[in-house]
Amino acid sequence: MTLISLTESPFRHSPIHPSVHVAGGDGPYGNTYAALAQVDLSPARRKRVLLKPNIGRVAPPEAGITTHPQVVAAAIDAFREAGADVAVGESPILGVKTEEAFDAAGITLIAHERDCLLIDMDARRFVEVPVPDGVAINSLKVCPEVLEYDLVVSLPVMKMHMHTGVTLALKNMKGCLWRRSKVDLHMLPPVEGHDEKPIDIAIADMSSVLRPHLSIIDGTVGMEGLGPSAGQAKPLGVIVVSADAFAADAIACKLMGTAAEDIPHLRIGAQRGYGVIDLDSISVTPDGWHDWSSPFAPPPENLSIEFPNIKVLDKNSCSACQSTLFLFLKHYGNRLFDCFPSDTSVCIAIGKGNEEVPEGTLCIGNCTALHRGNGIFIPGCPPVSSQILTAISGKPSVDSKDGHIVTSDIAVGGAPSI
């Protein structure tokens, strides 16, 4: 196995003044192809290139959850024209089968049309990669293909994210982590001496060893609000390309109406020198790129905004259980009130820091086991929506939309959606 550096890009000309190329006004294929035409792809000649889109969930292209298939198609074509051997790989979130996700997203079709290899990156055993500069983590379990290919290209969807602010080119690399180890990053203890959440520090740590060589951010249909999977689709019709993933993310943030400095993992990574987020130091083409910006609604800061009759006790909870709860309430919140008296608010506990909970509390996750005698306890680390539904209704839960037993979060599959 040839281990290659995932931190130095052969497409990057200046580590201090990176270039970013934005394209819009055409369809996803035309925009991607036009943006990539601004990059000298000749370093990819005779190289093996792994395209890593965001196909972590079972969702159709128009949902704003997965990378548009025509963006992936244009990237395959452009790299092949540059003389590269191209494959597309993904390791989806827990509970989602890679093949099903590729099918639903339209990736299987465009790959077969081009006789392009699709890789389930969970199929083989991981490689343990040290993170020497890590603050929250000191190693990662990485899918082997990520280390075997010469070049890795990140193709995320432009999305807000309930835990990390946004999910763009750098965060998308979390999909290179093997199977359940992705969830591990959401279950880290607080880092002493740091105000930032451990997940944000961990993503910055990850970007010290897993930075893509090129980033193609898909803003064809993004997601605002409760991303990465429970928000609203946001059509924007742009593509952002750069060899500096931090610069690409920073420009995408600007297009989304937010600032990279306000996104902890980008701020921390840039402070450590992994990339550039200072807009004054980034050269963007074309001049009128600002015209494509359209503010994305941010994720809600707390659940009470969207669910006023629900009290959440979440002391020392990790984002895995938070995700389960967010998605459960998003998809099934109304059913909760069918199972509890209508004149009371519902109390829900997650995490291990709640010393006491009121009688009748819905206790979600193993961390709340000590309160099991005080209400309804749903075991799991984290549990999934179907378990909560089954527990509160007292019978196997059926998704009314498709009639199937709910074994995973509807529409997006898997659990939790992080």
CB burial readout 217-256, b (16+ within 10 A) else e: bbbbbbbbbbbbbbbeebebbbbbbbbbbbbbbbbbbbbb
The answer to the question of residue 320 lying near ligand SF4 (CB under 6 A) is yes
351 in contact with ligand SF4 (CB under 6 A): yes
Q: Which stretch binds ligand SF4 (CB under 6 A): 22-30, 76-84, 128-136, 317-325?
A: 317-325
| Site stretch for ligand SF4 (CB under 6 A), options 71-79, 201-209, 234-242, 364-372 | 364-372
What the block records as the tokens of 158 is 């432009």
Residue 108 touches ligand SF4, criterion: CB under 6 A = no
In angstroms, what is the minimal distance from the CB of 374 to ligand SF4?
16
Number of residues that bind ligand SF4 (CB under 6 A): 13
How far apart are the two ends of the chain, measured CA to CA in Å?
A: 30
Q: Which of 53, 219, 228, 382 binds ligand SF4 (CB under 6 A)?
A: 382
What is the number of other CB atoms lying within 10 angstroms of the CB of residue 20?
27
What burial class does residue 140 get, using C-beta atoms within 10 Å of its C-beta: 0-12 exposed, 13-18 middle, 19+ buried? buried
Taking CB under 6 A as the criterion, the residue among 71, 119, 239, 367 binding ligand SF4 is: 367
Within 182-201, the residues that bind ligand SF4 by CB under 6 A are: 187
Q: Please provide the size of the chain in residues.
A: 418
> Residue 220 — φ and ψ, nearest 5°?
-60, -60
Min. distance of Cβ 4 from ligand SF4 in angstroms? Answer: 34
Stretch that binds ligand SF4, among 62-70, 141-149, 159-167, 350-358 (CB under 6 A): 350-358
Q: Which stretch binds ligand SF4 (CB under 6 A): 65-73, 209-217, 253-261, 316-324?
A: 316-324
Residue type, 228: P
CB of 182 to ligand SF4, least distance (A): 13
DSSP-assigned beta bridge partners for residue 117: 87
CB of 351 to ligand SF4, least distance (A): 5
Reading the block at residue 161, the tokens are 């994210």
- DSSP annotation of 152 reads E
> What is the closest distance, in whole angstroms, from the C-beta atom of residue 94 to ligand SF4 in the complex?
11
What is the CB neighbour count within 10 angstroms for residue 193?
6
Return the closest-CA partner of residue 253 out of 270, 229, 273.
270
CA–CA separation, 377 and 319 (whole Å): 19
Q: Which stretch binds ligand SF4 (CB under 6 A): 88-96, 212-220, 290-298, 318-326?
A: 318-326
How many helices (H) and strands (E) the chain has is answered by: 12, 16
List 109, 117, 381, 405, residue binding ligand SF4 (CB under 6 A): 381
Applying CB under 6 A, which residues contact ligand SF4?
187, 317-318, 320-321, 350-352, 365-367, 381-382
